[in-house]
Chain A
Amino acid sequence: GESVGLHLPTLSVQEGDNSIINCAYSNSASDYFIWYKQESGKGPQFIIDIRSNMDKRQGQRVTVLLNKTVKHLSLQIAATQPGDSAVYFCAETFSGGYNKLIFGAGTRLAVHP
């Protein structure tokens, strides 16, 4: 079946560095992708999204890149801060699927001072 996976289960970075979290997806029919941040004991928090007709979208300190050729998604966090420490999930959905999200297993980002 369709699946969304992540290349790295854990990412450790120094405060102030840029972070890149990667994700692979397998369903070529997916047309909407979302990154969520989940802190311990909390529900996932929406970070940024991108549609399949785009290859890049920027938010505040975050950028999402979509490469449909290789079915790859990445989240870039600039000037990583201790508050960015969390588990990050990518998710995909597709038209006609009631927008139910298919999530990857998650990447834990640990920011060290």
Chain B
Amino acid sequence: GAGVSQSPSNKVTEKGKDVELRCDPISGHTALYWYRQSLGQGLEFLIYFQGNSAPDKSGLPSDRFSAERTGGSVSTLTIQRTQQEDSAVYLCASSLDGVEETQYFGPGTRLLVL
């Protein structure tokens, strides 16, 4: 079946603008994760969804970052008033549930804030 998909694949925006990043997890996967990967760095956890709930938001770097998930499927990560330090690759992963640990990643959205 189809893997995790993300859109857009690339996004260039101006400082101060809002952006929305979308993730479509693997069908039937109830757990969804967002990570951020800065240039040349490892992946940094942002938020975890189980169904439509987010029991762990501990990785969101500031209140400019928010995420939601609807229908237990698609998730949107929103960054308000973007800053240059927000430039990174934003990766989404899903797993069958929060117990099944294997996470499958999408291709990521490359965000550049000018």
Decide: A98 and B43 in contact? CB cutoff 8 A: no
CB of B108 within 8 Å of the partner chain: yes
Say which one of A13-21, A41-49, A61-69, A72-80 lies at the interface with B: A41-49
Point out the residues of chain B lying under 8 angstroms from A105, CB to CB.
40-42
Point out the residues of chain B lying under 8 angstroms from A34, CB to CB.
101-103
A-B interface pairs (CB < 8 A), number: 63
Task: Bin chain B's interface residue count.
Answer: 20 to 34
CB nearest neighbor in B for A44: B105
Decide: B101 and A43 in contact? CB cutoff 8 A: no
Which of A99, A102, A106 has the most C-beta atoms of chain B within 10 angstroms of its own C-beta?
A99
Known: A101-B33, A101-B43, A105-B40. 13 other contacts (CB 8 A): A42-B108, A43-B108, A44-B91, A89-B43, A98-B31, A98-B56, A98-B98, A100-B33, A100-B45, A100-B48, A103-B43, A105-B41, A106-B42
Which B residues contact A (CB, under 8 angstroms)? 4, 31, 33, 35, 40-45, 48, 50, 55-56, 59, 91, 93, 95, 98-99, 101-108
